[in-house]
Amino acid sequence: MSIIELSDLCKTYKVYQKKEGLRQSVAGLFRREYRDVNAVRDVNLKVEEGEFVAFLGPNGAGKTTTLKLLSGVINPTSGEAKVMGFIPWKRDNEYRRQFALVMGQKNQLWWDLPAQESFRLHQHIYQIPASQFQKTQDELTELLDVKRLLNQPVRELSLGERMKMELIAALLHSPRVLFLDEPTIGLDVVAQHNIQQFLKFYQQERKITILLTSHYMQDIEALCERVVIIAAGTIQYDGSLSGILNRFSNNKRVTFQLAEGQSFEALDRFAPIEELQEPKVQFRVPRSDVPKLLSGMLDAKRVVDVTVEDPPLEEIIAELFTQVAQNQKDSSPEWLGGN
């Protein structure tokens, strides 16, 4: 059995539809009209113990909803889920002691209290023995370098410091499964990097299972080998990070640096130019056209340097999301499949 298993999981929200105009509004007081939002539909997913999986998708894709279902915060409309053998929405105490949810957009610590107080509360709730609590707290505050801030009210902390405290609170009871919903949102690159490093270290050390959502590709590249892409409530891709490049990016970027005195005129006869900044010119061509471009340019010009690269992951993902949105409009199902 996998540590996380979702089968045909669905969550439909009923959203109250306000009608335009006074007459319609008044009518609405008596007979409310609802619209269904299929936030998660027929999601099937298996995660093995010790995996660090990225959960990607455009805004409104259903990522947070899925994590809420897995944490038992909300009930599904249909379908099943098991985490460590528990059905999350049964909210078994034994389950609660073995997982944690961290939401970057939501404060889970007491705002006016020092983090230390919130941590003690957690100790109490999770019945963590005093010696183990102290040891874990020491370790975590050390690793994240926030020991000196333990007694300061949380509202006085910076966003990055607060996020670190949120993580500590979530890890005090040593969960086996961790759900992270945009843990680096709004952080500067340094704080973002610190949190990445910490998560990487902690996950490797403890072999815990993590499901992470983030809009920062940097997080994903640093942490996750497996990527699940969700859009409009359904899974569109499940595979490796490099697989995304292979599968969705047919283009390569080829950059030439020309020797001094070479003419930059009419270079577009070789391939479409992406960027021209003398002495460099960059082309974007289908993978299969790279050899032809290389030999053509090398024959015609004195070249000092060449690089061939994939377009940045961010760009590929952005294209992918746009395609998904387009296909959603055309409503052709299963356009991508998975692997």
Instruction: Give the ranges where the chain is alpha helix by DSSP (H).
Output: 22-30, 63-70, 93-96, 115-125, 130-144, 159-171, 189-206, 217-223, 241-248, 290-300, 313-330
How far, in Å, CA of 178 to CA of 239, rounded? 20
Q: Fill in the per-residue mask, 22 to 51: x = in contact with Mg ion (CB under 5 A), - = not in contact.
A: ------------------------------
Q: Does 184 bind Mg ion (CB under 5 A)?
A: no
Q: DSSP code of 86?
A: B
Q: CB of 42: closest distance to Mg ion in angstroms?
A: 19
Q: Does 66 bind Mg ion (CB under 5 A)?
A: no
Residue 251 interacting entry, from ligand ATP, Mg ion, none, C-beta within 5 to 8 Å by type: none
Binding interface with ligand ATP (CB under 6 A):
13, 15, 37, 39, 57, 59-65
Which strands sit side by side in the sheet containing 280-286, from one edge to the other? 273-277, 280-286, 251-258, 303-309
Residue from 6, 51, 62, 64 binding Mg ion (CB under 5 A):
64
Residue 62 interacting entry, from ligand ATP, Mg ion, none, C-beta within 5 to 8 Å by type: ligand ATP
**Of residues 217 and 271, the one with the C-beta less far from ligand ATP:** 217
Diameter over CA atoms, the chain:
79
CA proximity to 53, closest of 42, 40, 41, 66:
66
**Of residues 95 and 179, the one with the C-beta less far from Mg ion:** 179
**Of residues 60 and 338, the one with the C-beta less far from ligand ATP:** 60
Number of residues engaging Mg ion in binding (CB under 5 A): 2
Q: CB of 57: closest distance to ligand ATP in angstroms?
A: 5
Q: Does 214 bind Mg ion (CB under 5 A)?
A: no
Residue 85 interacting entry, from ligand ATP, Mg ion, none, C-beta within 5 to 8 Å by type: none
Q: Does 65 bind Mg ion (CB under 5 A)?
A: no
**Of residues 285 and 324, the one with the C-beta less far from ligand ATP:** 324
Q: CB of 107: closest distance to ligand ATP in angstroms?
A: 16
How far, in Å, CA of 182 to CA of 104, rounded? 5
At which residue do the structure tokens 């949380």 appear?
A: 154
Q: At what angle do helices 115-125 and 159-171 cross, to 10 degrees?
A: 20
H/E stretch holding 238? strand 234-240
**Of residues 38 and 240, the one with the C-beta less far from ligand ATP:** 38
Q: CB of 251: closest distance to ligand ATP in angstroms?
A: 26
Residue 39 interacting entry, from ligand ATP, Mg ion, none, C-beta within 5 to 8 Å by type: ligand ATP
**Of residues 79 and 279, the one with the C-beta less far from ligand ATP:** 79
Q: CB of 64: closest distance to ligand ATP in angstroms?
A: 3
Q: Does 203 bind Mg ion (CB under 5 A)?
A: no
CA proximity to 180, closest of 31, 93, 289, 56:
56
CA proximity to 97, closest of 166, 210, 177:
177
**Binding stretches for Mg ion (CB under 5 A):** 63-64
